[in-house]
Copies of this chain bind each other. A is one copy, B any other.
Amino acid sequence: MLDKNYLSLKESIKLLLEHVEFASLPFELIPIEVAYNRITYEDIYAPENLPGFRRSTVDGFAVRSQDTFGAKETMPAYLTVKGHIPMGKAPNFSLGQGEAAEIGTGGMLPDGADAVIMLEHVNIISPDLIEVLRPVGPGENVIFEDEDIRKGELVIPKGRKLKPQDIGALAGLGIAEIKVVKKPTVAIILTGDEIIPHTEKTIPGKVRDINSFVLAGLIDEAGGVPLKMGIVKDSYKDIKALVDRAYSSADVILITGGTSAGIKDMTAQIINELGKPGIIFHGVSIKPGKPIIAGVCNKKPVFGLPGHPVAVYICFELFVKPVLEKMLGITDKFYKTKIKAKLTKSIFSQAGRTDFIRVSLEEKNGDLWADPLLSKSGLIMTLVKAKGILCIPEDLLGFEKNEEVEVEVI
């Protein structure tokens, strides 16, 4: 336990992701129709070739390429049309020397044929006879039977977040069900005597729950299932009881709030009592989000998140999301949407601290401008108005007005 040690952001992430073992998630077998955005549990290999037979990529005539060698407009090759190949059917004949067969795009080549000459390069003399006006090479305008996917080939690797085209490829191979990683359930526990449900009328002193709504959306986007455990008073007994319940039903536990003086230590104590090793770090040199607690109890991640909505958002993106991705076994590298913009005003940070500044983005006179949305505290509206987040790394003291910066689009 490195309580109050105020790690740097890099150190804290490294500590959490490299030195801690998390429980692995089981698989579930699901139909591909509902597998979009799910994570593959194992490598998926092709059970057969795709397309499985030789197909034409154009409308024209299937031919033996050697019969067209030397053909030109002034000296065409004459071929006998043996028949028409209906779409979706295997041809019931093969081509001999000097023979051709009418074929459509996607049609199956007859035995004997090794190429397709496009309609545009043919004169149809009669239903039985064509003039070929140019040569075609072997394989020209043909997809071979294993050209899209070869039997036994790795189609989708383990740890892939499935895109529409991946599901399409599985459908093409006749793979109707696949193993995906079960979604981790993420418990959300709200602490605070001042918090009331969003459906209640406010009275002076009380504020409605914002954080469970921010977190539920972020958890879903990260591939987890949010479990709203409810609001609990600032008491050791009540919080412990709810954390214990969450521990038995969820894969990850988030305890938010605990902004009053005594509660921070309560949360820390409860996490340490829950299982080994307990707290990994308590406090990171970031703004907002400094008081974050990260713990692992019997391989189950438990986070104590600060109470401000913006701090909750930043801490989720920095710490909880990478943990969920590691548990899900995601191997894809995702690139964040970043954009260059000029700063409307100078912003400052402290040495050694990583700051995350909400900015709006606006085009003016052909330039894109990032306008820092500064406020006293983590007000939710600064996040609603923000189009991006600007990071001031720990080794910089800030950025100057008019400086070009790179903003992560949110």
Interface residues of A (CB under 8 A from B): 32-33, 36, 48, 50-53, 55, 57, 59, 86-90, 104-108, 119, 141, 143, 147-149, 155-156, 163-174, 176, 192-195, 198-218, 220-221, 234, 259-261, 307, 309, 313, 335-337, 339, 375-377, 379-381, 383-384, 386, 409-410
Q: Is the CB of A168 within 8 A of B214?
A: yes
Most buried by B among A57, A105, A212: A105
> How long is the Cα–Cα vector from A57 to B253 in the complex, in angstroms?
26
Q: Is the CB of B174 within 8 A of A202?
A: yes
Residues of chain B within 8 A of A141, CB atoms compared = 376
**Identical copies of this chain, number:** 2
A46 CB to closest chain B CB (Å) equals: 9
> Measured between alpha carbons, how far is A221 from B147 in the docked complex, in Å?
29
**Residues of the B chain whose Cβ atoms lie less than 8 Å from the Cβ of A55:** 207
Judge whether A202 and B337 touch: CB under 8 Å. no
Do A106 and B59 touch (CB < 8 A)? no
A383-B213 CB under 8 A given contacts A104-B260, A198-B171:
no
Say what secondary structure dominates the interface of chain A: loop
Which residues on the B side are within 8 Å of A89 (C-beta)? 193, 205
Which of chain B's residues have a CB closer than 8 A to the CB of A163? 217, 410
Minimum CB–CB distance from A8 to chain B (whole Å) comes to 23
- Interchain CB contact under 8 A, A213 and B108: no
In the complex, chain B residues whose CB is within 8 Å of the CB of A104 = 259-261
Question: Would you call A106 and B207 a contact (CB within 8 A)?
Answer: yes
Question: Which chain B residues border A166 with CB–CB below 8 Å?
Answer: 384
CA distance A89 to B51 in the complex (A): 70
Contact yes or no, A172 B198, CB < 8 A: yes
Q: Are B383 and A165 in contact (CB under 8 A)?
A: yes
- In contact, A260 and B165 (Cβ under 8 angstroms): no
Q: How far is the CA of A207 from the CA of B209 in the complex (A)?
A: 53
A selection of 26 A-B contacts at a CB cut-off of 8 Å is A33-B213, A36-B216, A48-B202, A50-B380, A51-B207, A52-B204, A57-B377, A59-B261, A87-B193, A88-B192, A104-B261, A143-B376, A143-B379, A148-B379, A156-B384, A164-B213, A165-B386, A167-B216, A168-B217, A169-B384, A171-B208, A171-B210, A172-B209, A174-B199, A174-B201, A337-B337
Cα A271 to Cα B279 in complex, Å, equals: 64
Question: Which residue of the partner chain B has the closest CB to A140?
Answer: B376
Task: Identify A149's interface contact among B202, B220, B381, CB under 8 A.
Answer: B381
Cα–Cα distance between A105 and B192 once the two chains are bound (Å): 11
Contact present for A205 and B90 (CB under 8 Å): yes
Is A260 a contact partner of B143 (Cβ separation < 8 A)?
no
- CB contacts (< 8 Å) of A384 on chain B: these are 155-156, 165-166, 169
Closest to A206 in B: B88
A300 to chain B, nearest CB (A): 24
